[in-house]
């Protein structure tokens, strides 16, 4: 009963992203994104091998573009009241600059249908699918991105006045770290300086977009979502503890603290001074942003130890498969307490902002058996992680809501279509939908909260 008492104070939703679920690339004049181009690269000396497992392509996903009404009907059927989805920048502006009225018309229809079903839309303005045309000047590594992003944001927000919840950027640490440093995500760049430049420009985009949205819609709730990873040291040895703190600096703190007015954590990692050439006068002061909410997205924990053989970055990551048997289809450790630890870490900053879990979920290699998907491990995952959210709320964290990732099986970036995160199974050939047992579990649990929610 105590758990339900805490849960009734939260909003409950599901999330998707445009790039991972929309498809529809040949159905309209949508421009290409960096992911369309990344999926089409050939990395093999002989034959064809793209950077995506099984040569999967982003255009073959769940086709939310033509199934959006039926998918929103499923959200309603399951009892969720909030729906987080993103705008494909290249759909509303094929070249990243010039407007295509048909593109925004699609999202206007999605918003209208949500509202007709009493579903609250939460829109993410950028979920990794940069228009390919903007990558020609360097994308996030070029300061020009700030002006182009603001132009896009002002247009979208003005065109969707009914939307009152905006998420500016989704997980900048991931799209910059994987896309501009490691090169395993689009656009496939491997350059430390470009990653740092992109980090500063992304932080400025959040700060400037917040002001712009508030100017257009003063009564809206505006935040941004961040990937937070719970990090532990391999041992209690001081050098391992120091290595874990350094990893936390680069993975977590670098992408949130500038927006809190704390600047970049230069003192904790001297190499970060390479970002200074990209900082113009007044930038650090402008970064401090009173976001209405912080989106927390946590999936796992990572463990680090000291690496005496790397003098530039003396840390060594211990992969999950070397220390845990409890792994998902993405080889991430399933460690529920990681979500509690990340919530409390953000809470410790003493912000006035609300906290929302804007993504949390798990992937398995689901297969239907006689028209059912018995994903009991996913049900267990959600039960345990929701318990940690409620524990954080009970301990004083200003948690206001939870979004399950994801409504639909989707394109899981470099992993392709094999790992399935959805509450709804998608046959990617026929686009048929099938509710998994985890969806039915949510339906039953949310229904149990209904009397309490209706009484408030």
**Residue positions annotated with a catalytic role:** 171, 359
| Secondary-structure percent of the chain, ordered helix, strand, coil, rounded to 5 | 45, 15, 40
Residue from 329, 255, 291, 293 nearest 402 by CA: 293
Residue from 347, 351, 358 nearest 393 by CA: 347
Taking the C-alpha atoms of residue 118 and residue 403, their distance in angstroms, rounded to an integer, is: 17
Taking the C-alpha atoms of residue 450 and residue 456, their distance in angstroms, rounded to an integer, is: 10
Residue appearing with tokens 């503890």: 241
CA of residue 317 relative to chain centroid, distance: 22
| 317 burial level (CB within 10 Å; 0-12, 13-18, 19+) | middle
Residue 398: which residues within 8 A CB-CB, separation 6 or more?
Answer: 347, 351, 353, 354, 355
**Cβ(59)–Cβ(23) below 8 Å:** yes
Q: How many CB atoms sit inside 10 A of residue 224's CB? A: 30
Q: How far, CA to CA in Å, does 375 sit from each of 79, 331, 339, 367, 368? A: 19, 17, 21, 9, 10
Q: Is 152 helix (H, G, I), strand (E, B) or coil?
A: helix
Taking the C-alpha atoms of residue 177 and residue 186, their distance in angstroms, rounded to an integer, is: 11
**Cβ(259)–Cβ(180) below 8 Å:** no
**Prior bond of 112 cis (ω within 30°):** no
Residue from 242, 353, 344 nearest 288 by CA: 353
* Dihedral over alpha carbons 193, 128, 406, 70 (to 10 degrees): 180
Question: 170 is written with which tokens?
Answer: 């989704």
Taking the C-alpha atoms of residue 12 and residue 442, their distance in angstroms, rounded to an integer, is: 10
**Cβ(8)–Cβ(161) below 8 Å:** no
Taking the C-alpha atoms of residue 98 and residue 107, their distance in angstroms, rounded to an integer, is: 17
**Cβ(100)–Cβ(2) below 8 Å:** no
Residue 39: which residues within 8 A CB-CB, separation 6 or more?
Answer: 50, 51, 52, 56, 57, 58, 59
DSSP annotation of 265 reads: -
């Amino acid at each position: 009963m105590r758990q339900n008492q805490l849960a009734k104070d939260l909003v409950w939703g599901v999330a998707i992203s445009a790039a991972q679920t929309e498809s529809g690339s040949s159905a309209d004049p949508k421009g290409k994104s960096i992911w369309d181009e990344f999926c089409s690269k050939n990395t093999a000396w002989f034959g064809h091998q793209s950077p995506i497992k099984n040569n999967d392509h982003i255009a073959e996903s769940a086709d939310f573009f033509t199934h959006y009404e039926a998918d929103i009907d499923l959200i309603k059927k399951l009892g969720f009241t909030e729906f987080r989805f993103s705008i494909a920048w290249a759909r509303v502006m094929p070249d990243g600059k010039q407007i295509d009225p048909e593109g925004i018309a699609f999202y206007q229809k999605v918003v209208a249908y949500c509202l007709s079903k009493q579903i609250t839309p939460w829109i993410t303005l950028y979920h990794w699918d940069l228009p390919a045309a903007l990558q020609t000047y360097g994308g996030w590594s070029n300061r020009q991105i700030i002006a182009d992003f603001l132009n896009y944001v002002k247009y979208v927000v003005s065109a969707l006045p009914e939307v009152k919840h905006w998420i500016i950027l989704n997980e900048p640490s991931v799209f910059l770290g994987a896309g501009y440093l490691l090169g395993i995500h689009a656009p496939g760049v491997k350059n430390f300086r470009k990653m740092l430049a992109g980090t500063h420009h992304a932080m400025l985009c959040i700060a400037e977009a917040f002001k712009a949205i508030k100017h257009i819609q003063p009564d809206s709730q505006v935040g941004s979502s961040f990937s937070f990873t719970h990090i532990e040291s391999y041992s209690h040895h001081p050098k391992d503890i120091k290595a874990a703190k350094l990893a936390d600096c680069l993975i977590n703190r670098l992408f949130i603290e500038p927006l809190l007015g704390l600047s970049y954590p230069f003192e904790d990692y001297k190499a970060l001074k390479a970002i200074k050439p990209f900082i113009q006068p007044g930038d650090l002061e402008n970064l401090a942003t009173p976001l209405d909410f912080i989106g927390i997205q946590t999936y796992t924990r990572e463990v680090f130890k000291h690496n005496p053989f790397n003098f530039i970055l003396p840390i060594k990551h211990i992969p999950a498969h070397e220390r845990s048997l409890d792994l998902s289809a993405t080889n991430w450790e399933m460690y529920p307490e990681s979500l509690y630890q990340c919530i409390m870490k953000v809470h410790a900053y003493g912000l006035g902002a609300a906290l929302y879990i804007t993504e949390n979920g798990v992937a398995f290699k689901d297969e239907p058996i006689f028209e059912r998907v018995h994903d009991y491990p996913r049900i267990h995952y959600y039960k345990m992680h929701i318990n940690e959210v409620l524990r954080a709320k009970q301990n004083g964290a200003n948690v206001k809501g939870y979004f399950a990732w994801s409504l639909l099986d989707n394109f899981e970036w470099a992993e392709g279509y094999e790992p399935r995160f959805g509450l709804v199974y998608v046959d990617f050939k026929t686009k048929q939908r099938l509710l998994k047992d985890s969806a039915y579990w949510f339906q039953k649990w949310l229904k149990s909260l209904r009397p309490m929610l209706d009484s408030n």
